[in-house]
Amino acid sequence: MGKIVLTRSRRRQIVHAFSYTFLITVGVTMLFPFFWMLITSVKSRYADPLDLNKLLPETVWQISANDIRNWTEIFNKLNRADRLMDSSALKTIWTAMDPNEQRKIGSVVTRGKYGEEDKKMLVTGLNQILLNEKLWKNEEVAAVLRPEERAVITNSSPLGKENRIKINRMIIDALFPEEIQKAHRYHWRNYRTVFVEINFYRAILNSFFVTLMITVGQVFTSSLAAYAFARLNFFARDHIFLGYLATLMVPGTVTMIPVFIILRELGWINTYYALIIPPLFSAYGTFMLRQFFLSLPRAVEEAAILDGCNAFRVYWHVILPLSKPGLSALAILTFIGSWRSFMWPLIVSHSDNMYTLPIALSLFQSFYEIEWTLLMAGSIIMIAPMLLVFIIGQRYFIEGIQLGAVNG
């Protein structure tokens, strides 16, 4: 009756096509922010952030005052060029400046002292050089360029304004390798700045150390307790366990203040103890592992006990090896949780050598306010180790979480 009858395989094809489209759309939504982050983090810090016309970073050929790392050295070099004492490449670019500008800068270099106004003048002078039309025709100037850079000249004659600026910028970059920031399309400079400005090495180290200690400690103490709850029969077991369960509902903020006071009285604030020990004892871990241990067959255990093993041996040699999946599930959950934990370290870590990554990054954020390129570089440094761990141990992560949920 005009009704289209779809075969089963045909229907499946349509469903699959729809599924793929959907997955790809969601996947792009998930990945694009990360991609954007990466792109921003390799942009020049001084590129105009409002200029969003191109997604990819553009090389900034113009020289701005911020590109200059060492004013004194530049003035010194120009001073030498002025007195004909250095290579004539420098001398040539010196003479390429507008005579008026030259005179002004000349007065600065002889004075040996410079102020804001003089700096501005120098930048103007340097940008004049960029517009010069015959700079590279000078043999000595061309000699400072690398062969592939010189190829740009020969391949593009006659030189348009754009290429002219590009070549001149290369010359300036070659003549002032240390003093002026190079013009590059991509660069890892932001990452270097991040590491120099903030003690990120130490923060990464701290984060790894604290996270590992918490993970190992939590798995150990939780598994011990879970074994007792699952297998041993002791006084008031179920009551104690109920007490554990009830605390699963206690918000972290309830215990936050008293624990802070306890640590203060111990003199532990701003030490590793404060970062590691309070999160070490987890009711959730105990609960989860107890459920897991309960699901293990008792036969092997009983055989071991008959062989004369004591409880600790049973725990160590029978239970632990059998429950590797459960342990790794807890380990992974703990690892993720403490890697990103923010509120607690915020309260107890107070110096460069105690900051964990989230804290260092949050301070870094207020330090740089709106320098997004640097902030993105910092964020990537925070996210990257976790991503690396995840991509390597992807299967364990997923299975661990599934296991934790099914048992919990």
Partner 1 sequence: MRYLNAKLGITLTPILFGLALLVVLIIGWGYYHSKGKQSQSEDEKVRLVLAINVSHRERPFFVETVDAFMKEHPNIEVEIRNIAGVRYYQKILIMMAGKVAPDLMWMGQSFAEFAYKGAFLDITDRLKDIPTDEFLPQALSWYRMNGRQYGVPYAIHMRIFAYNKKLFDEAGITYPSDDWDFDEFLEITKKLTLDKDGDGQIDQYGFRGGLHRATFGAEIFSDDGQLALCNTPEMLNFFQTRLDLAFKYKVQPTMELRNQEGRNSPIEMYAPFAQGRYAIIDGGNGDRVVMLEKCADIDWDYVLCPKVKRQAQWASSAAIVISADTRHPDESWELCKVFIGDKFQKSMALSGMPTNINVAEEVIAEHRGTPSNLKAVLKAYDFLYPTPRVPNLKELEAIYVDAEEKIMLRMATPRDALDDAQRKMTLAIKKLNERNR
Partner 2 sequence: MKREQDITAFVFLSPNIFGFLVFTLFPVLAAFALSLFRWDIFHAPKFIGLQNYFDLLGWVFEDKSFQWIDPDFWKFLGNTVFYLFAIPLSMAASLFLAIILNQKLRCRIFFRTVFFLPTISASVGLLILWKYLYNGDYGLFNFLLSNIGIDGPGWLTDYHWAKPSIMMMMIWGGMGGVAMVIYLAGLQNIPRELYEAAELDGANGWNQFCHITWPMLAPTTFFIFVTSIIAGFQSGFDAAYILTQGGPAGATTTLDYYIYNHAFVYFNMGYAATIAVVLFFIVFCVTMINWRFGGRKVHYG
Query: Does 52 sit near partner 1 (CB under 8 A)?
Result: no
- 208 burial (CB, 10 Å; 0-12 / 13-18 / 19+) is middle
Q: CA 106, CA 133: separation in Å to the nearest integer?
A: 23
Tokens of 41: 């983090």
- Give residues 112-171 in contact with partner 2 (rule: CB under 8 A): none
Q: Which of 127, 222, 323, 334 binds partner 2 (CB under 8 A)?
A: 222
Closest distance to partner 1 from the beta carbon of 313 (Å): 8
> What character string, x for contact with partner 2 (CB under 8 A) and - otherwise, covers 179-218?
----------------------------------------
Q: In a 3-state reduction of DSSP, which class is residue 97? A: coil
Residues ≥6 apart with Cβ < 8 Å to 255: none
Query: Tokens 């366990």 appear where?
Result: 241
Q: CA 134, CA 148: separation in Å to the nearest integer?
A: 19
Q: What is the DSSP string of 308-341?
A: T--HHHIIIIIIHHHTHHHHHHHHHHHHHHHHH-
Taking CB within 5 to 8 Å according to partner kind, which of partner 2, partner 1, none is near residue 258?
partner 2
Query: HSE of 306 in the Cβ direction (CA atoms, 13 Å)?
Result: 6
> What character string, x for contact with partner 2 (CB under 8 A) and - otherwise, covers 383-402?
x--xx--xx--x--xx--xx
Residues ≥6 apart with Cβ < 8 Å to 369: none
- Give residues 342-401 in contact with partner 1 (rule: CB under 8 A): 347-348, 350-352, 363, 366-370
- Give residues 283-342 in contact with partner 2 (rule: CB under 8 A): 283, 286, 311-312, 315, 336, 339-340, 342
Query: Does 375 sit near partner 2 (CB under 8 A)?
Result: yes
Q: Which of 14, 143, 262, 303 binds partner 2 (CB under 8 A)?
A: 262
Which residue lies nearer to partner 2 by CB, 2 or 33?
A: 33
| Number of residues lying near partner 2 (CB under 8 A) | 92
Residues in contact with partner 1 by CB under 8 A are: 50, 64-66, 115-117, 120, 197, 260, 263-264, 266-271, 273, 277, 308, 310-313, 347-348, 350-352, 363, 366-370
